[in-house]
Amino acid sequence: LDLDLKSGELLGSPTNFEVRYTDLAGRIARLETPHGVIETPAFVPVVHPVHQSVSPKFLKSLGFDAIITNAYIALEHYGDIARKRGIHGIVNFDGVVMTDSGGYQVLEYGSINVNASTIAQFEKDIRSDICVPLDKPTGYGLDYHTAKNHVEQTLTNAKDTLSLVLENSNESEISRQDGAHEPIWAGPVQGAEHFDLVRYSASELDKMGYTIMALGSPVEIMETYEFSILAQMIASAKSVVPTKPIHLFGAGHPLTIPLAVALGCDMFDSASYMLYAKDDRYMHANGTARLEDLSYLTCHCAVCTKYSSPKELFDSNKEIRTIEIAKHNLYILKTELNTVKQAILDGRLWEYVIQKSRAHPKLMESIEILKDSNLLGPGTPIFKQRAIFFYDPLDQHRPEALHFRKMVSGFISTKSDGGQGKLILYPDSSVHPFYATRDFKKLAKKFPEAQICTYNRFLGIIPSEISDIFPAAHNLSAKLTTYQANNYNTFVESLKEFLTKNEFEEIIILADQFMKNIITNNKSVLKKFNTKVFDRVGDITSVP
Amino acid sequence: LDLDLKSGELLGSPTNFEVRYTDLAGRIARLETPHGVIETPAFVPVVHPVHQSVSPKFLKSLGFDAIITNAYIALEHYGDIARKRGIHGIVNFDGVVMTDSGGYQVLEYGSINVNASTIAQFEKDIRSDICVPLDKPTGYGLDYHTAKNHVEQTLTNAKDTLSLVLENSNESEISRQDGAHEPIWAGPVQGAEHFDLVRYSASELDKMGYTIMALGSPVEIMETYEFSILAQMIASAKSVVPTKPIHLFGAGHPLTIPLAVALGCDMFDSASYMLYAKDDRYMHANGTARLEDLSYLTCHCAVCTKYSSPKELFDSNKEIRTIEIAKHNLYILKTELNTVKQAILDGRLWEYVIQKSRAHPKLMESIEILKDSNLLGPGTPIFKQRAIFFYDPLDQHRPEALHFRKMVSGFISTKSDGGQGKLILYPDSSVHPFYATRDFKKLAKKFPEAQICTYNRFLGIIPSEISDIFPAAHNLSAKLTTYQANNYNTFVESLKEFLTKNEFEEIIILADQFMKNIITNNKSVLKKFNTKVFDRVGDITSVP
C-alpha cells in the first residue's frame, strides 16, 4: 500500500477544513462535508439508529448541524435497507451524519462479529459524511503492552480501511470526481494515558492521510475525573497533528468542553445528554446534579420554564421526564459551545477556561497544562481587539504575556549611556499607554536622560517606548495581596534580564507593596546598582 | 418621639423574616408582606408606574414575586386615582409591590417638591407592601461633609415618617390589629464610600425600628466597577445590622449579585434589565455585552431561541428589540438568583462567588473581603452535607477552614508523652477519613505510641483522631504547583501552634513537594526537634 499524498485527498482533503479564528489552541473553523458545512467547535449528539427518544428534528432546531450514529448497529438492524435509503433516511436527519464504527461496542462487549473492511464498506454504502474505521478502544487503565496491542490493531484496521477506500475510488473514478459522495474519514487515535502511544497512533494515522483525528474513549477517564490525563492525552495528539481537526469521542461532560477546545479539540460527540437524563442527572454550567438534589432550576430553557421547581419535573412520569431532562441537557451543551466560541472571538478563552476550571479541584489541577507555550502560543493572536484580564499567578503564563516578555528581552535601551544611565521603574496603572500619562510626563521632564519603565506583575518590565504595544496597553490587572510576590517568578526573570541586557548605574523605583516584596526577596539582583526606593511619585520628582 | 420596641413592630415585625438556610453571610429566607410571602434572596424588578414596556404579568410568569415602583411618580401622575385603586391596581400586579420614595429623583434632579410625610402618607394610602421613606442618596464621590449632610437629612426624613406611621396607627387601632394592610418600612441607609457614615446610618435606622435596611445608591459605584467599595459598603451595613433583611438599591448588574448575597444582601432592585436593553446591552453570566459585538447568542431563553444569531435580533425593529433584550436580561437575572440560592443550599456559595469573581479583575480584587471571618463565620454551617472544594491560597481563609484550625488549636495529644513522644505528619489524600485508610493502619501498627496526623495546605494539621470531622473528611483539594507553599501562611501558623501546644521529641514527616518547601522556608520551626523527612511511606515503616 503506497501511502502517498493522493490517499490524503481520498480520505477527505485538508482543504475542506478552513480555520477562521483562533485563540490558544482553540479555533473556530468550517468543515465541509457531502451534506453541508458545519462550524466547529461542534458538539455532535449521539443518535441511536433504531431508538430515538429525542428527535433529530429537535436537534436540528437547536442548531446542532451534525449528529453521530452507530454504523455497526445500523448494519445489524437494517442491513440492505440502510444501504438503499442511506443513513440520513434511516435516522431522518438532513444535516451532517457521522458514523462511529462499533468501536464502542468492542469496548463494551469485547469484540464484534464484523471486520474493518465490512464496516468501512457499509459506512460508504450508507453515504455517511464522516466515517470512522473499526477501532479497538484503549479505554483507561490498560497496561502498556495491552494498550499498544489495541493501538496496533486499530492501525491495521485503519490501513485495511484505506485499501478499501483506494480500491473503491479506482473503480468509480467518475463518482469520485464530482466529489459529492466522498465521505471524510476520521482516524481513530488510541493510547489513552500512555501518551507516547497517543502520539504514535496520531502520527501514523496522519501519515496514512486521515483528515480528522478522532481521539478515542476518554469516557472512563472523565468518569473518574482524571482531567489532567485527559488534557495530556489531547495535548499529545495535538502536538503531532497540529492542523487537522480533532474529534474527541464521548466527551459530553459540560465541564470538559472549554478546556478541550482550548487544547485544540474541534468536535465532540456524546450520548451523555440522554444517558445522564436516564439517571435523572441535570446538567448545569458547572457540571451535573441529581435532579432530586436540586431545589431550584438553574436554567431558563424551554423545558425548565415549564416547571415551577425541580420537584415538579421530578414528579412527572419517568419517560417524559427523561426526554425533558435530555432536552434541557442539550440546551446546556449548545450554550456551552456558543459561550466557548464567543470567548474565542473575544480573545478571552484563557479567562473562560480558568474560570470554568473552578468547577472542580481535579479540573483546576489539569489547567497547569496551559503553561505549555508550545501548545498554546501559535494559535494565540499577537494583537487582540479587547483588553485581556490578569487575575492570579497562573496568568503570568498566558501566551500574550510570554510573547511580550520575549519582545522586551530584545529591547535595548538607548539611554543606558554605557552603564552610566538612570533607570526609573514605576508601577503600572490602569491608565494606558504609560507614555501618554501625566505621571510619565512629569518623570520625563525631571529625568530627560533616564530610561523610564513601568512594571506589571504579569508582564514584567515595560519600557515606556513600547508601552502602547499589546497587551501592555490592553490589560486589566487584579492586584490581590493573597498571592505573594514570589509566585511571580517570570517577573523576577524579566527584571534580571532587563538589568543584564541594559546596564545602568542608578535605579530609581517607585515601589508598591508588590515591588517592595520583590526587592526584599531579590536583594542580590539589585545590590550592584545605586538603588533608590520611593513610596510616592512626589518623592521621586523632588530628588535633587 | 419615643423610639421603643413598639415602633419596631409597627414598621414591620422582625418576625416576618424567617431565615431558613445560610452560607457565608448569605441566606435563604421568607419575608412576609401584606400581599404574600416572597423568598429571598430576591431580585425585584423596577416597573415604571406609567410606562410599562415589559408587563408585570410577564415578570410574574418568570417567577418574580415582587416588583418595585416609584411612589413619587405615581403621586405626581395619578394622585387620588392611585389612592383609590391602590398601587397594585395601578401597576396591574397581584404580587408584592415595594415603593421607592423618589430618592432616585433627588439624585437625578437635585430635589423634588414634596416632603417626607407626604410621600410616606401616600405610600400607605396606596397600600404598598414595602415602603421607603424619602431619602437623599449620597451617590458616589461626595466629600465627607456633604455625604454626612445627606445622611442626616435622610435620618430626619426617616424620623418624620416614623411619627406619621405611629400617629396613623393610633388612629386606626382596629385595622392595625388584623395586620393585613400594615406595610413593612425599609430604612434608607446612606453614606456610600464613607463607611463610618454607612454604619452610623444603618445603626440609627435599626434603633428607630426599621425592619429592612435599604442600602442606598450603589449605581455609580457599580458603573465605575468599584466593587471593592461596594463590598465594603455592604459589609459596613451588615456589621451593625446583622439579622434584619438588607435591600440593595439599584443592583442590577448580574456580576455583583453573588458577592452581594454572600455579604448579606437579601433583596436587589434595578431597572438595569430595561436600561441596558435600550442601549442594546445583552446580559450574560459574566456581565454584559453590546449586542452588535456578539457573534453567538450565549443563551437559550425563550427570546434567544427565536433568533438564529445576534445579528438577526439586532436587525429587528428597535422597539421590539428593546423589549426582547429586556426579557432576555430578566431570564439571566432570574437564573443568577436561582444559581446563588442553589449554591447556598449546597454549601458552595464560597466556590461560586470566587468563580464568578473571575469575570472582571476589579471584582476579583473585591473578594479579599471574604477573608473577614467576623462577617462570614456566623452564617456558615459548621457541618455541611457535601464536600467543599479547595482551589488556591484564597481558600485557606474559608470560614470552614478557619473553624477547623481553631478546633485543632484546642487539641491536646495524649501521645506527646511529656515531650518524649513521636509525631508523624503524613500528606492528606482524597481518601477520607484518614484513620480508616490502609496507610494509617500501617503507621499505627508500626508506631503505636505515636501521634499520627495528616497535613493539608488549606486546613493545616489534622490529628487522625479527628480526621472524620467536617471538613477534614469532606473536602477535595487541588494541589497546583503554581501557588507556592509560602502563600499558605495559615498552614505554617497551624503547624507552629500544634508543635507548641503538644510537645514531641521526634517528628517523622512524609513530605510531598509542598511540605518540602514548607520545611525549607521554616527551618527555625523544626530545628529543636529530631526531625526525619521521608519521600515514601515504605521508607517510614522500615525505620528501625
Q: Does B517 touch chain A (CB under 8 A)?
A: no
Taking 70 as the threshold, does the pLDDT of residue A362 lie above it? yes
Length of chain B in terms of residues written:
544
B2, B4, B65, B100: which is the annotated catalytic residue?
B100
Considering only CB atoms, A338 lies closest to which of B298, B354, B482, namely: B298
Distance CA B147, CA A232 (A): 57
At residue A544, the pLDDT reads 64
Please compute the mean of the pLDDT values over residues A325-339 and round it to a whole number. 97
Give the integer Cα–Cα distance in Å for B322 and B312: 13
Q: Is A361 on the interface with B (CB under 8 A)?
A: yes
Helix (H) / strand (E) containing B205: helix B195-208
pLDDT score for A177? 41
Grid cell, residue B115, equals 416632603
> Which member of B332, B342, B358 has the closest CB to residue A391?
B358
Q: Which residue has the higher pLDDT, A42 or B102?
A: A42
Nearest residue in chain B measured CA to CA from A356: B355
Minimal C-alpha gap between B111 and chain A (Å): 36
Please answer yes or no on whether B361 and A296 come within 8 Å at the CB atom: no
The verdict on A309 touching B (C-beta cutoff 8 Å) is no
On the question of pLDDT at B139 being above 90, the answer is: no
Min Cα distance A258 → chain B (Å) is 14
Helix (H) or strand (E) holding B212: strand B212-215
How many CB atoms are closer than 10 A to CB A368? 17
Sheet containing A96-100: order of strands: A42-45, A267-270, A246-248, A212-215, A184-189, A130-131, A96-100, A66-70
Across the interface, whether the CB atoms of B331 and A300 are under 8 A apart is answered yes
Beta bridge partners of B67: B97
Q: Is A428 a catalytic residue?
A: no
The overall average pLDDT reported for chain B is 92
In the stretch 270-289 of chain A, residues with CB closer than 8 A to chain B read: 284-286
Considering only residues B463 and A528, tell me which one the structure prediction assigns the higher pLDDT: B463
Q: Round to whole Å and give the CA distance between A186 and A131.
A: 6
With 70 as the cut, is the pLDDT of residue B47 above it?
A: yes
Determine contact: A111 vs chain B, CB below 8 A: no
Q: Under an 8 A CB cutoff, do A358 and B355 touch?
A: yes
In contact, A88 and A99? CB cutoff 8 Å: no
Nearest to A478 among B339, B361, B397 (CB): B361
Does the CA dihedral A129-A134-A135-A136 come out positive or negative? positive
Q: Exposed, middle or buried, B488 (CB in 10 Å: 0-12/13-18/19+)?
A: buried
| For residue A64, pLDDT beyond 90 | yes
Q: What is the pLDDT of residue B13?
A: 57
**Per residue in A496-520, pLDDT tens?**
999 999 999 999 999 999 999 999 9
Q: Is the pLDDT of residue A5 over 60?
A: no
**Smallest CA–CA distance from B333 into chain A, residue:** A300
Marked catalytic residue, from A2, A65, A94, A100 = A100
Q: Where are the beta strands (DSSP E) in A439-511?
A: 451-456, 460-463, 475-477, 506-510
Considering only CA atoms, give the Rg of chain A: 28
- A389 to chain B: nearest residue by CA? B361
**d(C-alpha A384, C-alpha A23), whole Å:** 10
End-to-end alpha carbon distance in chain B: 81
Which of A63, A354, A480 comes nearest B368 by C-beta?
Answer: A480
Handedness of CA B487, B490, B493, B497 (dihedral sign): negative
Q: Which of B342, B354, B392 minimises the CB distance to A296?
A: B342
The reported pLDDT for the residue numbered A95 is 96
A517 touches chain B (CB under 8 A): no
Q: A266 Cβ partners below 8 Å, 6+ apart? A: A27, A29, A31, A40, A41, A42, A245, A246, A247
Phi-psi region of A460 (alpha: psi -120 to 50; beta: other; left: phi over 0): left
Above 80 in pLDDT, residue B227? yes
Residues in chain B closer than 8 A to A478 (CB atoms): 361-362, 364-365
Read off the DSSP letter of residue A197.
H
CA distance A376 to A261: 11
- CB < 8 Å from B in window 37-76 of A: 62-63
B306-326 burial code (b ≥16 CB/10 A, e <16): ebeebeebbeeeeeebbbbbb
Please state, in angstroms and rounded to a whole number, the distance separating the CA atoms of residues A437 and A510.
16
Read off the C-alpha cell for B181: 394592610
Answer yes or no: is pLDDT of B8 > 60. no
**Average of pLDDT values for A11-33?**
88
Provide the pLDDT for residue B323.
Answer: 97
Asked whether the predicted pLDDT for residue B175 surpasses 60, the reply is no
What span, in angstroms and rounded, lies between the C-alpha atoms of B274 and B279? 9
Give CA separation, A142 vs A220, A235, B410, in Å. Answer: 12, 20, 47
**Is some CB atom of chain A closer than 8 A to the CB atom of B302?**
yes
Question: What residues of chain B, 429 to 488, have a C-beta less than 8 Å from chain A?
Answer: 476-484, 486-487
Of B339, B355, B362, the CB nearest to A298: B339
CA A142 to chain B, closest CA, distance in angstroms equals: 23
Strands (E), A436-510: 451-456, 460-463, 475-477, 506-510
Three-state DSSP class for B223? helix
CA atoms of A108 and A105, how far apart (whole Å): 5
Mean pLDDT of chain A: 92
Mean pLDDT is lowest, of A182-196, A211-225, B77-91, B240-254, for A211-225
- Which pLDDT does position B284 carry in this prediction? 95
Chain B contact present for A20, CB below 8 A: no
Q: What is the pLDDT of residue A12?
A: 59
Q: B318-368, pLDDT tens digit by residue?
A: 999 999 999 999 999 999 999 999 999 999 999 999 999 999 999 999 999
Kindly report the nearest CA distance between residue B376 and chain A, in angstroms.
18
Residues from chain A that touch B62, judged by Cβ atoms under 8 A, are 305
Q: Cβ separation of A296 and B355 shorter than 8 Å? A: no
Per 3-state DSSP, what percentage of chain B is helix, strand, and coil (rounded to 5)?
A: 50, 15, 35
Rounded to 5 degrees, what are φ and ψ at A338? -65, -40
Task: Tell whether the model's pLDDT for residue A226 goes beyond 90.
Answer: yes
Residue of A428, A482, A489, A490 to mutate for B, most B C-beta atoms under 10 A: A482
For residue A431, what is its C-alpha cell?
Answer: 491608565
Tell me the pLDDT band of B253, cut-offs 50, 70 and 90: confident
Q: Is B518 on the interface with A (CB under 8 A)?
A: no
Q: Determine contact: A302 vs chain B, CB below 8 A.
A: yes
For residue B49, which of B16, B86, B13 has the smallest C-alpha distance?
B86
Assign A2 a pLDDT band (cuts: 50, 70, 90).
Answer: very low
Q: Give the model's pLDDT for residue B3.
A: 37
**Cα angle vertex A534, ends A530, A540, to 5°?**
85
Site from B228, B300, B386, B476 to mutate, A interface, most A CB atoms within 10 angstroms: B300
Banded pLDDT at A105 (limits 50, 70, 90):
confident
Confidence band, pLDDT 50/70/90 cuts, at residue A108 = low
Confidence bin at A432 (pLDDT 50/70/90): very high
pLDDT tens digits along A147-180: 999 999 999 999 999 999 888 765 544 334 444 5
CA-to-CA distance for A406 and A402, rounded, in angstroms? 6
Rounded Cα–Cα distance for residues B482 and B285 (Å) = 27
Q: How many CB pairs under 8 A join A and B?
A: 140
Which of B65, B296, B474 best tests the A interface by mutation, with the highest count of A CBs <10 A? B296
- What does the pLDDT read at residue A8? 41
Q: What cell was used for A325?
A: 431532562
> Which H/E stretch holds residue B39?
strand B36-40
Asked if B478 lies within 8 A of A368 by C-beta distance, the reply is no
DSSP-derived secondary structure for A110-179: S--S--HHHHHHHHHHTT-SEE--------SS--HHHHHHHHHHHHHHHHHHHHHHHHHHHHTHHHHHH-
Highest mean pLDDT among B48-57, B161-170, B334-343, B525-534: B334-343
To the nearest whole angstrom, how far is the Cα of B361 from the nearest Cα of chain A?
Answer: 5
Q: According to the model, what pLDDT value does residue A6 have?
A: 41
Cα B295–Cα B296–Cα B301 angle in degrees, nearest 5: 145
Query: Are B342 and A295 a contacting pair at CB < 8 A?
Result: yes
Joined together, the cell numbers standing for residue A194 give 500512555
Nearest CA in chain B to A394: B482
CA distance B62 to B286: 21
Nearest residue on chain B to A370, alpha-carbon basis: B482
Contact of B139 with B250, CB cutoff 8 Å: no
DSSP H stretches of helix in B264-316: 272-278, 310-314
Q: What is the structure's pLDDT at B182? A: 84
Say if pTM beats, i.e. exceeds, 0.90. yes
Helix (H, G, I), strand (E, B), or coil: what is residue A426?
strand
Grid cell of A172 as nine digits: 468509480
What are the tens digits of pLDDT across the range A435-491?
999 999 999 999 999 999 999 999 999 999 999 999 999 999 999 999 999 999 999
Distance of CA A252 to CAs A59, A99, A232, A333, A430, Å? 15, 17, 18, 8, 40
Question: What confidence score (pLDDT) does residue A170 get?
Answer: 59
**Searching chain A, which residue's CA lies closest to the CA of residue B330?**
A300
B357: left (phi over 0), alpha (psi -120 to 50) or beta: alpha
| Average pLDDT over every residue of A328-334 | 97
Least confident of A307-316, A317-326, B239-248, B523-532: B523-532
| Complex-level ipTM beyond the 0.90 threshold | yes
Q: Do A479 and B285 touch (CB under 8 A)?
A: no
Nearest by CB: A480 against B365, B482, B484? B365
> What's residue A160's pLDDT?
95
Q: Are B393 and A477 an interchain contact pair (Cβ–Cβ within 8 Å)?
A: no
8 Å CB contact of A342 and B298: yes
Across the interface, whether the CB atoms of A358 and B335 are under 8 A apart is answered no
Please list every residue in chain A whose beta carbon sits closer than 8 Å to the beta carbon of residue B334.
300
Matching residue, cell 508601552: A467
Summarised one tens digit per residue, pLDDT across range B461-503 is 999 999 999 999 999 999 999 999 999 999 999 999 999 999 9
Residues 6+ apart with CB under 8 A from A528: none
Chain B CB contacts of A62 under 8 Å are 305
> What is the predicted pLDDT for the residue at A536?
85
Q: For B476, which of A296, A299, A361 is closest by C-beta distance?
A: A361
Q: Quick check: B342 and A300 CB within 8 A?
A: no
Tell me the nearest-neighbour CA distance from A62 into chain B, angstroms.
8
Closest by alpha carbon to A250, among A367, A357, A108, A358? A108
Q: What is the mean pLDDT of residues B91-102?
A: 94
